[in-house]
Homo-oligomer: A and B are copies of this chain.
Amino acid sequence: MPQTAEPPVIVLVRPQLGENIGKVARAMLNFGLVDLRMVAPRDGWPNPSAGPAAAGADIVLDQAQIFDTTAAAVADCSHIYATTVRLREDTKRVVTPEEAALEVISQPGRSAYLFGREASGLDIKDVNMANAILTVPINPEFGSLNLAQAVILCAYEWSKTQSLSQPTVTDQLPPAPQEQLDGLIDHLEGMLKPKGYFLPTNRADATKRTLRNILTKPGWNHLEIRTLRGVLSTLARKIRAD
């Protein structure tokens, strides 16, 4: 049976000011989003500055979930959008808030929008985890969109899709939740390490990022991931040369 896609999750990665978290909550609730997650908010949680800035959107703050890592925050999400104001060199797909919203409502599985800290945005590691880059097309000579504004544009575009007739999602299996993809990547890295694939050590992080990008691109579902885990186990099998 076709199901209705879930509203997207908003993930603030290492947000700095409580006031901004409150404004995000307000922006979300204005457009009907309630699932707020935070990764290691700088000043801890709860934050007394968040409430007043939320202007009544307390329900969003009260239900907010806190995680230690981005991976944990999106473990149950199948589609990860990394929001950036400025495009970086990257091989990932780039979508607008509108395009992302249309994807979110038409693809099975839960979607998450990642937003980085106010001062510097998302780390490259967080961007790597994403299936696509979400960029708000702004004035190239004056890019000064703050966190709550970026969130409100994404939430607004999502809400616009809700007034249309509810599209039904396809029967296609959704991409596996992030933790299953992480399991595959860990498995492969664990096999490659003893063979010296990550040497020299100073290139290891870049090599791992490349590998993660390649394996994130497909959006494999849980059956496909399971098959690939089987492939890896088979490759690791020792065969006697007798």
Interface residues, chain A, CB within 8 Å of chain B? Answer: 26-27, 29-32, 55-57, 87, 89-94, 96, 98, 135-139, 142-146, 148-149, 152-153, 156, 159-160, 163, 165-173, 188, 191-192, 194-197, 210-211, 214, 217-221, 224, 227-228, 231, 234-235, 237, 239
Query: From DSSP, what is the main secondary structure of chain A's interface residues?
Result: loop
Tell whether, in the assembled complex, residue A56 and residue B144 are in contact, meaning their CB atoms are under 8 Å apart. yes
18 pairs of residues in contact across A and B, judged by CB atoms under 8 Å: A26-B144, A30-B138, A30-B149, A32-B139, A55-B144, A56-B144, A57-B142, A57-B144, A90-B170, A91-B173, A92-B170, A137-B163, A137-B165, A149-B152, A192-B235, A196-B239, A211-B227, A214-B228
Instruction: Report copies per complex.
Output: 2
A94 in contact with B220 (CB, 8 Å): no
A188: nearest residue on chain B (CB-CB)? Answer: B231
